[in-house]
Chains A and B, each alone.
Chain A
Amino acid sequence: MPVRPSAPRLALRRLLTSPLLAILLLGGFTLALLTQMRVDWALATVAAASGVSLAGST
């Protein structure tokens, strides 16, 4: 019989597998880079965020 994960573990798993959290993290990185005017790096992080933004069309 499969073991049911504990509530905090389940909550953590749901949080870590959330596309919203993924794009918010990438967005945070991007905005941090923009405040430093590191547009070259921001281009890469925003490209990754753009890929994540299409999670709904998986």
Chain B
Amino acid sequence: MGLAVGGALSATAIGLLAAVLPWPRSAVSAVIAAALAVSLAAYDLMVTRVNLLQRRSLIPQEVFLRGHVLGFFRFGIEFGSGVRTFVTSASPYILIVMLLGVPASFTQIIAVGVAFGIGRSVGPLQAVLADDVYWSGDLDRTSRLVERIGSALAAAVAVTAAVSMFG
């Protein structure tokens, strides 16, 4: 729940930013967004570690001092927002570029944020449900591939969105 709220909050900020942009979101901005998305995905595929603008801070354990329910809710909001974390894939950046370049309604932008928060919750949920030692090892082996697949998918959506503007 908190994760989805966190995602929605980040998306609201992006939606507000998109609303005050000095350029209208059009076919031209969609093409520029697609070009940026492909560049970001190519960067992610080429480097061993993504090093883009981010806060690089972890959510402190003190958030749980106010009780479990409130603590987990606040943790969820901060975790789902994607702001207070290490961003190890270019895909969230591609999402932002897409939302700023591709014509989308405010509701759509919020839905994207909620979906991001839900997707963000998959990792911790799997960690809880899985055999912890195996899960950590599995993640170590596959995390870079998972991060790169995320970026490639996001770039594919950006390119298709741009192409669909001319269809």
Q: Which residues of A contact B95 (CB under 8 A)?
A: 46-47, 50
Chain B residue at smallest Cβ distance from A19? B146
Contact flags (1/0) for A14-36 with B, using CB distance below 8 Å? 10111110111011001100100
Q: State which of B17-25, B62-70, B113-121 sits at the interface with chain A.
A: B113-121
Q: Does B139 contact A (CB under 8 A)?
A: yes
**Inter-subunit contact B145/A18 (CB<8 Å):** no
Contact of B160 among A19, A42, A58 (CB under 8 A): A42
How many residues of chain B get a CB closer than 8 Å to chain A's CBs? 55
Central interface residue in A18, A34, A46, A54, by most chain B CB within 10 Å: A54
**Inter-subunit contact B131/A52 (CB<8 Å):** no
Binding site for A on B (CB under 8 A): 7, 80, 82, 85-89, 91-92, 94-95, 98, 102, 104, 108, 111-113, 115-124, 126-127, 129-131, 134-135, 138-139, 142-147, 149-151, 153-154, 156-157, 160-161, 164, 167
Give me 20 A-to-B residue pairs in the complex whose CB atoms sit less than 8 angstroms apart, sorted by A's number. A14-B138, A18-B138, A20-B145, A22-B126, A26-B119, A34-B157, A43-B104, A43-B108, A44-B112, A48-B116, A49-B119, A49-B154, A51-B82, A51-B117, A54-B85, A54-B92, A55-B126, A56-B123, A58-B123, A58-B139
Chain A residue at smallest Cβ distance from B99? A43
Knowing A53-B91, A54-B89 are in contact, say whether A39-B161 is a contact too (CB < 8 A): yes
Contact of A55 among B104, B111, B139 (CB under 8 A): B139
**Inter-subunit contact B108/A57 (CB<8 Å):** no
Q: Which DSSP category, helix, strand, loop or mixed, fits chain A's interface?
A: helix
Contact of A23 among B127, B150, B164 (CB under 8 A): B150
